[in-house]
Amino acid sequence: MSPFPHGCRGRVAPGAADEHSVKSLPGIVARAAGVAVAGARVLLVVPVLLVLWSVVPTVFGWRADVIMTGSMMPALRPGDVVVSRPAAAAEVAEGAIVLVRNPARPGTTLVHRTVGRTADGSLVTRGDANPVDDSTPVPAAAVLGLPRLRVPWVGLPLVWWATGRYRPLAAAGAVLLLAAAGRPEPRRRHRARHRVTPAVAT
């Protein structure tokens, strides 16, 4: 004997839709938001570790500086952070990358490669991407250190701010806010509770 009534084989009566064929929209939104928050937190882990990697050496007297231009590409790119140990001019060998006070722009620093020395012991420097030597030799007293560690990308927000590139800066801020946000709790379904009244025998 067929389990379906005659004329209704393979059909579902109106109003008897499969309970698994319809999903709650708030539940879908909550799950999607949870995935987005988890993804943002994963993306945030790498920059945080890189920042720590660049900051920890400063506790021991080293210093961290952000590369702002492309004059040292491809060795160093804008947004890289270079961590340098203190050094004197006598320690700087020809061909070494050196951190100095920029003699051409007082109040700023410069990370370029040493390509020679003048008669008075000043350093002649040049960016790897530049066709000519820097215009002003670096006095020995202006040498600050020797870069020993490159941490990529960490300084990009500073580069974006300095160059007026606010869109990627805003996107990075949005990722930070998303990572800091808590996962929204899905709406709980309240089931009707049936009150049972005890029967009293008479």
pLDDT band at 27 (very low <50, low <70, confident <90, very high): low
Cβ neighbours around 145 below 10 Å, total: 23
Q: Does the pLDDT value for residue 74 go beyond 90?
A: yes
Tell me the mean pLDDT in the region 124-131.
98
The CATH class given to the 52-177 domain equals mainly beta
Helix/strand/coil percentages in the chain, nearest 5: 30, 20, 50
Tell me the mean pLDDT in the region 32-53.
61
33 against 74, higher pLDDT = 74
pLDDT band at 14 (very low <50, low <70, confident <90, very high): low
* Preceding omega of 26 cis (within 30 degrees of 0): no
Specify the pLDDT at position 202: 37
Tell me the mean pLDDT in the region 50-65.
79
Specify the pLDDT at position 12: 46
Which 8-state DSSP code applies to residue 138?
B
Specify the pLDDT at position 171: 83
